[in-house]
Amino acid sequence: MIKKILLLILFGVSYNLHAQWEKVYTNSTWANGASLYIHKNVLFQTGYGNNTNQTLRSGDNGTTWTDISSSFPYTVYFMLSYGNTVFAVTTTLGTTKYSFYASTDDGLTWTEKSNIIRGSGNGAILSMASDGNNLFAVSNRRSIYRSADGGTTWTEIIINYTGTSGILSFAVSGNTYLAVLEGVGCVVSTDAGLNWTLKNGTSNIGVVYKLNNDVWGMAGFSGIYKYNLSTNSWENNYTPGSFNSPISIGANGSKLISTFGDFLTGNRKYYSSGNNGISWSELTTDVIGLNNSILSNYAVAANGSYYFAGYWKSTSGVIAYSIYRLPLTTTSVADKNIIPNSFELSQNYPNPFNPTTKISFSLPSSYDVSLKVFDSIGREIAEIASGYLQPGKYSVDFNASGLSSGIYFYKLSAGSAIHTRKMLLLK
């Protein structure tokens, strides 16, 4: 499927994804669970199953992975990026102690920061959250633990709400706490956990996330919601159509990626936003051939170079977990203060290239612009820029890591003007 991209003139940046996902990791022993995390531009993944518990680290966008499992006493249940520190919550087998390990060198070395003995609210501590100042450790029963000193000491908060049997998801923004409770729905506290009110919006919110400075909710077939902290209510942010259920959402800065499942076909659909949810566009649908696969927890994420997705898929009775990545390309305003005299599409540089190259163009007037890439027989590969642009000079970084070597063409259309140039990919 051909990709569309939202061009953000205000910031001089837009985002586009190439047509092909690339598998960078697979593991057939993680049959019971796996999660994917990003701290700065470093990736971590945890997995367990078949008597195997592993934590892996990658500093090169998933190309290679290092096993760091020996840094922890047992399974890592959750990881959280907190400023320049990355936290991991784990336990000691056979005890009720849950430990918080911290790394200040991007996961190369780890030390135990603190620990919690299971409290009166009971439950295993399986996740963490942050509002930018305080840290939170979240159990799967009724206990939430808050730390105001960077994870050194913890204070227990009990969610006393009728019908509460377990916390499924938790997010926080200042004194506003949001928790999805099993058999209840989403409850909200605006007084730092003292009192709770049911806030499900027009649809039951099943999962909540704190991304950037916003709290997001995923609601069945109703799509993605954003919580309005001023009105203390949910507002629908995006729904791609009937029978499409949101599965997961991830972010890096203003870049968001969300995965939806099509109930009728079983396909996965990917949508991105380059402006923190103001608008969304579809990236691609199941080009990695994972129809009817099981999307893992926290499976979509983004750093400065790629979107990432993690999946379980059963083949001949064997369940394998895999990580895929999809490259980002960036379009920037080279000089918006200089108005060119003519319409120009420059030769890409470098050329030949592998796998990235820069495409520059100049606009003497405002135009609706489309920049597309075609293969040697004229098939459209990607639309790497589109939108209404003011006069100026622009450049696009095109990533062809998913393409084979050969001749490609890029065509710039602006009003009635059309320019085409040839480029050579050599791998």
Query: Which residues, other chains included, contact 181 with Cβ-Cβ below 8 Å and sequence gap of 6+?
Result: 159, 161, 163, 164, 165, 166, 167, 168, 187
* Amino acid identity at 76: V
Same domain, 267 and 355: no
Tally Cβ neighbours within 10 Å of residue 4. Answer: 18
Final residue of a domain: which of 299, 328, 357? 328
More confident residue, 247 or 211: 211
Tokens 């998913």 — which residue?
402
More confident residue, 258 or 119: 258
> Distance between CA atoms of 344 and 414, rounded to whole angstroms?
10
Most confident of 1-10, 60-69, 161-170: 60-69
Same domain, 288 and 172: yes
Q: Is residue 176 part of a domain?
A: yes
Same domain, 231 and 309: yes
pLDDT score, position 210 = 85
What mean pLDDT do residues 344-370 have?
89
pLDDT score, position 383 = 72
What mean pLDDT do residues 118-129 have?
81
Q: 386 pLDDT exceeds 60? A: yes
Q: 276 pLDDT exceeds 80? A: no
Q: 277 pLDDT exceeds 70? A: yes
Most confident of 115-119, 123-127, 387-391, 420-424: 420-424
**Which helix H or strand E contains 327, and what residues bound it?**
strand 318-335
What mean pLDDT do residues 65-90 have?
93
Residue 201 in contact with residue 233, Cβ under 8 Å?
yes
Number of domain units in the chain: 2
pLDDT tens-digit map of 406-427:
999 999 998 888 999 999 999 8
Same domain, 346 and 323: no
Same domain, 96 and 235: yes
> Distance between CA atoms of 147 and 284, rounded to whole angstroms?
40
> Distance between CA atoms of 45 and 64, rounded to whole angstroms?
12
Tally Cβ neighbours within 10 Å of residue 124. Answer: 15
3-state secondary structure of 220: helix
Structure token pair of residue 170: 């938790």
Residue 144 in contact with residue 136, Cβ under 8 Å?
yes
3-state secondary structure of 351: coil
Same domain, 194 and 271: yes
CA angle 9, 10, 14 (to 5 degrees): 50
The torsion defined by the Cα of 184, 186, 192 and 194, in degrees rounded to 10, comes to -20
Range of the domain at 408: 336-425
> Distance between CA atoms of 159 and 197, rounded to whole angstroms?
11
> Distance between CA atoms of 336 and 16, rounded to whole angstroms?
21
Same domain, 285 and 341: no
Query: Which residues, other chains included, contact 37 with Cβ-Cβ below 8 Å and sequence gap of 6+?
Result: 43, 44, 45, 46, 79, 80, 81, 86, 298, 301
Final residue of a domain: which of 328, 348, 380? 328
Give the percent of the chain with pLDDT over 70. 75
More confident residue, 109 or 240: 109
pTM, 2 dp: 0.69
Give the percent of the chain with pLDDT over 90. 34
What mean pLDDT do residues 114-120 have?
83
Same domain, 104 and 252: yes
Residue 128 in contact with residue 78, Cβ under 8 Å?
yes
Q: Is residue 364 part of a domain?
A: yes
Same domain, 227 and 79: yes
What mean pLDDT do residues 284-304 have?
49
Q: Is residue 356 part of a domain?
A: yes
> Distance between CA atoms of 21 and 23, rounded to whole angstroms?
7
Tokens 């895999």 — which residue?
322
* Amino acid identity at 226: K
Structure token pair of residue 303: 């750093």
Arithmetic mean of pLDDT over the chain: 79
Same domain, 392 and 286: no
Most confident of 22-36, 187-201, 235-249: 187-201
Peptide bond into 355 cis (omega under 30): yes
pLDDT score, position 7 = 25
Poorest-confidence range of 83-92, 134-143, 269-278? 269-278
pLDDT score, position 241 = 64
* Amino acid identity at 16: N
> Distance between CA atoms of 164 and 11, rounded to whole angstroms?
45
> Distance between CA atoms of 8 and 110, rounded to whole angstroms?
40
Same domain, 359 and 309: no
pLDDT score, position 262 = 65
What mean pLDDT do residues 288-299 have?
46
Q: Is residue 10 part of a domain?
A: no
Q: Is residue 5 part of a domain?
A: no
* Amino acid identity at 272: S
Closest CA to 346 of 378, 380, 277, 394: 394
Whole-Å CA distances, 2 to 20, 157, 389: 10, 49, 21
Going by pLDDT thresholds of 50, 70 and 90, the confidence category of residue 30 is confident
Classify residue 129 by its DSSP letter.
Answer: E
* Amino acid identity at 289: G
Q: Is residue 8 part of a domain?
A: no
The enclosing domain of 419 has a CATH number of 2.60.40.1930
Q: Is residue 120 part of a domain?
A: yes
Q: Is residue 118 part of a domain?
A: yes
Residue 409 in contact with residue 421, Cβ under 8 Å?
yes
Same domain, 381 and 282: no
Closest CA to 369 of 378, 381, 360: 360
Residue 44 in contact with residue 107, Cβ under 8 Å?
yes
Final residue of a domain: which of 284, 308, 328? 328
Going by pLDDT thresholds of 50, 70 and 90, the confidence category of residue 316 is low
The enclosing domain of 157 has a CATH number of 2.130.10.10
> Distance between CA atoms of 386 and 268, rounded to whole angstroms?
25
Tokens 């489309």 — which residue?
370
pLDDT score, position 32 = 64
> Distance between CA atoms of 40 and 126, rounded to whole angstroms?
22
Q: 16 pLDDT exceeds 60? A: no
pLDDT score, position 425 = 95
pLDDT score, position 191 = 95
